[in-house]
Amino acid sequence: DSGVTQTPKHLITATGQRVTLRCSPRSGDLSVYWYQQSLDQGLQFLIHYYNGEERAKGNILERFSAQQFPDLHSELNLSSLELGDSALYFCASSAADRNQPQHFGDGTRLSIL
């Protein structure tokens, strides 16, 4: 158990819809990261938040957005969903020391029908 909690574990929805994925970091971790893993691509970094502030963006589509709340949990919002958005979405957290490793949750499996 990494200590990172993601909900829901599975999500099935239709094209054009909007969903919200939730992540609770490990106790004491200030950084939250989001990743996408689809069948034909490896793990792709999406975005990094540190103590409520956006720190870095990776390959995140404009239809996707994220935020980190004062209690440090984070949400990833995916809108105008397309079939290609079907993937595993992972959240990771790390301590303030930027050299400390990231610890990953079990992911949310998103299926677009």
Partner 1 sequence: DAKTTQPTSMDCAEGRAANLPCNHSTISGNEYVYWYRQIHSQGPQYIIHGLKNNETNEMASLIITEDRKSSTLILPHATLRDTAVYYCIVRVALGNDYKLSFGAGTTVTVRA
Report, in Å, the least distance between residue 80 CB and partner 1.
25
Structure tokens at 81: 């969903």
Select the residue interacting with partner 1 from 45, 65, 86, 95 (CB under 8 A).
45
For the chain, the straight-line distance linking the first and the last C-alpha, in angstroms and rounded, comes to 31
User: Locate tokens 């970091």: which residue?
Assistant: 25
42 vs 70 by CB, closer to partner 1? 42
Q: What is the dihedral of CA 56, 60, 66, 72, to 10 degrees?
A: -40
13 vs 104 by CB, closer to partner 1? 104
Residue 11 is a binding residue for partner 1 (CB under 8 A): no
Output DSSP code: residue 83.
Answer: G
Scanning 15-23, 68-76, 77-85, 92-100 for contacts with partner 1 by CB under 8 A, the matching segment is: 92-100
Structure tokens at 28: 């004491």
Report, in Å, the least distance between residue 99 CB and partner 1.
6
Q: Which residues bind partner 1 (CB under 8 A)?
A: 2, 4, 33, 42-45, 48, 55-58, 88, 90, 92, 98-99, 101-107, 109
